[in-house]
Structure 1
Amino acid sequence: MPTLSDYLAFKAQRMAALREKLAAPDAAPAPLRAVARVASGSGVRPVSIREFTIVTDSAPALAGYNLGPTAPELLLASLASCLAHTYLIVAANRGAQFETLEVEVTAQIDFRGILEVTPDAPIAPSGLAYIARVSGDVSDDELHQIRTEVEHLCPVFRALVEPVPVSGRVERTAS
């Protein structure tokens, strides 16, 4: 069975090929798209991303059915996944030998803010923190350097620590 170290060697090869493609004069950013459609009778929000569907829902206290994670939980999942992937990218670039890798992201959410119960309660999740758990033949100094690179290169981490503007609009559709 292939190990994580084997995968990192494979990843390094794939990234080298992709870097070559991205160096072409006609290379462009990759578009991203997610669409949430509210199910009329339940309020459940399936989200379509490429050929995947993720069911999102609320807890029963907010009239949900607990059929899937909430959007704030998906934010944490997105950060955890992106950090883990970026750790793999940096490790592959450096030839680091990870045997295992796990990223845990934690936060809290104060529904008093969202439901306007307490005016000064935060609305956004707060106290975001992560722990990357790594085993393998890598020194503490190298792990520190890898962490610094990861936090510089991880797209979701960067979007959270240096928020990007979000534009929005409402379009009326036929019923």
Structure 2
Amino acid sequence: MGTLNEYLQQKREALLERRANAERQPDQARSVFSAKVRAAGRSGVREIRIRDFQVISDSPPDFAGYNLGPSSPELQLGVLGSCLTHIALIQAAERQVSLHSLEVEVTGEMHPLAGRPGYEHIPIHPHNIQYKLIIQSDESEETLRAFHQAIEQVCPIFNLLRNPQQIEGQLVVNRLSSESVL
């Protein structure tokens, strides 16, 4: 089994090749991606489809769930941790930072009464989000501080959460019969 530093060399080669391809054809470099989610009947389990992958999201039993998968807020923390980890790998590869191990822990809070009368001061969204980037490395403190700063500067999900954007939504109704009412 290879080491993390061996993988970082492969990551560096892939990164350089990907950037070279994007520079050769910048008009075709844009990525468009999507996810589709369907609520399963009787269980309410959310089946998330992304490319050829399926992820299950569910609620804990105390919220009418079957505990078959993480909740949406838990997935969001996992997505943030995954993105921070991936960007850390990219930055380590690009900067040739030696890493023996890499782990990210993400925590957040939610309250079931958030936004209700008397609890308007509590955000309805995950809040107090914090992460720990836990690495084993022989690099200097200066190198590691610059490495960490670069991760936060370019991590897409970290920056989406820190600097949110407008999200446009639309309701599409497919009626079973002409008598269906909203």
Q: TM-score range by the shorter chain?
A: over 0.9
| Contact 1:96–1:137 (8 Å) recurs in 2 | no
TM-score calculated relative to the size of structure 2: 0.92
Aligned partner letter, 1:163: P
Deviation sequence 1:27-65 (CA, Å, 0-9, x none): 232111111100111111110011110100011121111
TM-score for the superposition, normalised by structure 1: 0.95
Q: Which 5+ residue runs of structure 1 have no aligned equivalent?
A: none
Q: Tell whether 2:131 aligns with 1:130.
A: yes
The answer for the alignment partner of 2:21 in structure 1 is 21
Q: Is the 8 A contact 1:91 1:97 kept in 2?
A: yes
Q: Output the amino acid matched with 1:168.
A: G
Matches within 5 A, 1:7-156: 7-23=7-23, 24-113=25-114, 116=116, 118-156=119-157
Q: Give 1:82 deviation, angstroms.
A: 0.2
1:99-156: per-residue Cα shift (whole Å, max 9, x none)?
1000001111111116x36333210111101101111221111111011100010000
Backbone CA RMSD of aligned residues:
1.2
CA contact (8 A) 1:59 1:66 kept: yes
Cα distance in 2 for residues equivalent to 1:25 and 1:121: 44
Q: How many residues align?
A: 174
Matched position secondary structure for 1:37 = strand
Q: C-alpha distance in 2, partners of 1:51/1:19?
A: 25
Structure 2 residue identity aligned to 1:153 = V
Give 3-state SS (helix, strand or coil) of 1:65's partner.
Answer: coil
Ranges of 4+ aligned residues in structure 1 off by more than 6 Å: none
Q: Which AA in structure 2 matches 1:119?
A: E
Structure 2: tracts of 5 or more residues without a match: 177-182
* Larger Cα-atom Rg: 2
Aligned partner of residue 56 in structure 2, secondary structure? strand
Change (3 A) 1:162 1:41: same
**Equivalent position SS for 2:107:** strand
